[in-house]
Structure 1
Amino acid sequence: MTAPRLPTASPHEARGLALGLLGVTIFALTLPMTRLAVGTPDAPQMSGLFIAMGRAALAGLLSGALLLALRAPLPQRADAWPLLLTALGVVFGFPLLTSLAMRHVSAVHASVIVGVLPLATAAVGALLHRQRPSPAFWACAVLGTGLVVTFAVLRSGSAGLALHPADLLLLGAMLCAAVGYGFGARLSQHMRAEFVICWALVISLPVTVPLAALSWPAVPMPTPAWAGFAYVSVFSMWLGFFAWYRGLAVGGTVRVSQVQLVQPFLGMLFAVPLLGEGLDAVSLGFGLAVMATVLLGRRMAVRARARTG
């Protein structure tokens, strides 16, 4: 008797996974670049408030220009609430909380803590999109999350996983991102992916522009800090979402969200040349194990829930 064949990804799912991986690669540089912009407690640079609001303001201005150039239609009235929740999650919540946290923790440490984001995104996506992941899929998601948490415990040393206040900010950022990703993906089902993040940024401009102006650095900042700020403004806050939301819409939020499991280790790899942080065999080993759960999880069934009534 032959073994049953595991379900394979459809062309749409494969395209969604590819776009999701592109978005995750762009996002993986966010924490190292934010660390570059905020500095350390001993050598502070830009404030977390300026980085969060400034990047949203700059990306919002670019978004407004793009929407005008493409003559994008106005969002429908029914899209107002999902757009607001998307903005609260990915324009305000995640950028502000991570920017405040990154002055106090390394990029490697932060990347591991935010590594539980895929499970949160999958849970939000399952609720919003009426999807029913198989138990095997959830097992892969939990296994991958367990790996990044185990890694965090091992890297924390003999004292265990110390929950620094910055870790609480990062966990809050994770929840904000999961909500923003979920609602943004739902909007991408009937809106162009780039329009979703653009409108979320544009409706936020009345708040982000004044706060960015009020928190503008009082002293000149070095070039590396401005380079980090430019990256998180143009790529992390804007262009990365073009690929990410399209990937979630095409491939399914629950399945594509698991590609985020590789983001912590991509962030670590980027942190080595940018920040001089170390990367050893243990980190690489856990990275390979997490990527294996992603490859296995993409082969597990994710079905739509049956409608009732």
Structure 2
Amino acid sequence: MTAHNSATRPTTIAVTSPFSGSLSRGTILASLGVLAFSLTFPATAWGLRSFGPWSLVSLRSVLAALIAAGFLIALRVPLPRREHRLGLAVVAAGVVVGFPMLTTLALQTSTTSHAAVVVGLLPLTTAALSALRTGARPSRTFWIAAVAGAVVVLAFVACDSTLGQSGGALSLGDGYLFAALLVCAAGYTEGGRLARLMPGWQVIGWALVLCLPLSLAGSALGLAYEPVHLTGQGLAGLIWAAAGSTFLGLYVWYRGMAEIGAPRASQLQLAQPLLTLVWSVALLGEHLSPAAPAAACAVLVCIAVTQRVK
């Protein structure tokens, strides 16, 4: 039996202050998660070149669940405690099913640059939900910096010339993106709370395994009704979305969140939309606004403030 049994593993709440000002291991881990997440939209766009949206999301979850199940079985991890299962269901619904499906549907009509809008609001939404769910009380300075960072990201993305395809009007894709924002923030918040009670990789691992029956059924139906055109880019996008974004990315993200707290960790995602824009240029040939460097510097200032205030 592994020593990481959730019933015996001590919580890390008393070890690390959620609002410590120093650059910690938790900050580094959460930053690695953000880097992995920044590739999700480009990887999804690649995956859609080979698979339909339902097939892509289902196969992504199946592959990630098989990876997670392999680790859980190899390490003989016991089943999660009963009181943790509802939280795992929220994680599964938010980050395993809801966010991937809603963003994949949005990317059928939106560019990856436009989809970065949802990430621009995700840090603030996650911090707000975490404060309500866990009772965390960041300072006024934290909230000012968090709101400022969200405004900078949204202003840059909204004004960027690559985002003008909707003519300023909300589209169905925008509806998918805003719904994805809410379910993902809920999944992040609950996952961060659970990662203080069990290892972070077990949080996402059990959430993926919990969804495996649904993912297998979705894969069978999707592959039966949606066309498949296998390409190197399509397969690479699927593999990264499953192994990189879904499993490894969420593993380091939840582990970092458990150490520095969900509000502070969430603000590191202010950099994610700008990273996604860079990847969209490098991997998809989209165009980047000349204002990107200025927006990046402003975002980094906001992130620095949120990481240092008490």
Residue 206 of structure 1: CA displacement?
1.1
1:281 aligns with 2:286: no
1:305 aligned residue = none
Decide whether the 8 Å contact of 1:57 with 1:205 is kept in 2. Answer: yes
Q: What secondary structure, in the 3-state scheme, does the structure 2 residue paired with 1:281 have?
A: coil
Please list, as runs of the form range in 1=range in 2, the aligned pairs for 1:55-66 lying within 5 A after superposition: 55-66=60-71
Decide whether the 8 Å contact of 1:57 with 1:208 is kept in 2. Answer: yes
The whole-number CA distance in structure 1 between the counterparts of 2:254 and 2:53 is 26
How many residues matched? 290
Out of 195, 203, 224, the position equivalent to 1:196 is 203
1:171 aligns with 2:178: yes
Decide whether the 8 Å contact of 1:112 with 1:151 is kept in 2. Answer: no
1:32 aligned residue = 42
The whole-number CA distance in structure 1 between the counterparts of 2:165 and 2:252 is 40
TM-aligned CA distance change 1:164 to 1:65, over 3 Å = same
Q: Taking every aligned residue pair, what percent have the same amino acid on both sides? A: 39
Amino acid at match of 1:183: E
Decide whether the 8 Å contact of 1:86 with 1:181 is kept in 2. Answer: yes
Amino acid at match of 1:37: G
Amino acid at match of 1:277: E
Decide whether the 8 Å contact of 2:201 with 2:250 is kept in 1. Answer: yes
Deviations 1:11-68 (A, max 9, x none): 88622111110000000000011111114xxxxx421111111101111111111100
Decide whether the 8 Å contact of 1:152 with 1:161 is kept in 2. Answer: no
What are the ranges of 5 or more consecutive residues in structure 1 without an aligned counterpart?
A: 1-6, 40-44, 302-309
1:97 aligned residue = 102
The whole-number CA distance in structure 2 between the counterparts of 1:158 and 1:233 is 29
Residue 261 of structure 1: CA displacement?
0.2
The whole-number CA distance in structure 1 between the counterparts of 2:166 and 2:238 is 34
Out of 77, 95, 112, the position equivalent to 1:107 is 112
Q: Which moved more, 1:209-218 or 1:30-39?
A: 209-218
The whole-number CA distance in structure 1 between the counterparts of 2:121 and 2:40 is 16
1:73 aligned residue = 78
TM-aligned CA distance change 1:157 to 1:227, over 3 Å = closer
Residue 115 of structure 1: CA displacement?
1.1
The whole-number CA distance in structure 2 between the counterparts of 1:32 and 1:122 is 26
The whole-number CA distance in structure 2 between the counterparts of 1:109 and 1:278 is 12
TM-aligned CA distance change 1:223 to 1:159, over 3 Å = closer
Amino acid at match of 1:90: V
**If the length of structure 2 is used for normalisation, what is the TM-score?**
0.89
1:262 aligned residue = 271
2:12 aligned residue = none
**If the length of structure 1 is used for normalisation, what is the TM-score?**
0.89
The whole-number CA distance in structure 2 between the counterparts of 1:56 and 1:204 is 8
1:227 aligned residue = 236
RMSD across aligned positions (CA)? 2.0
Please list, as runs of the form range in 1=range in 2, the aligned pairs for 1:243-254 lying within 5 A after superposition: 243-254=252-263
1:293 aligned residue = 302
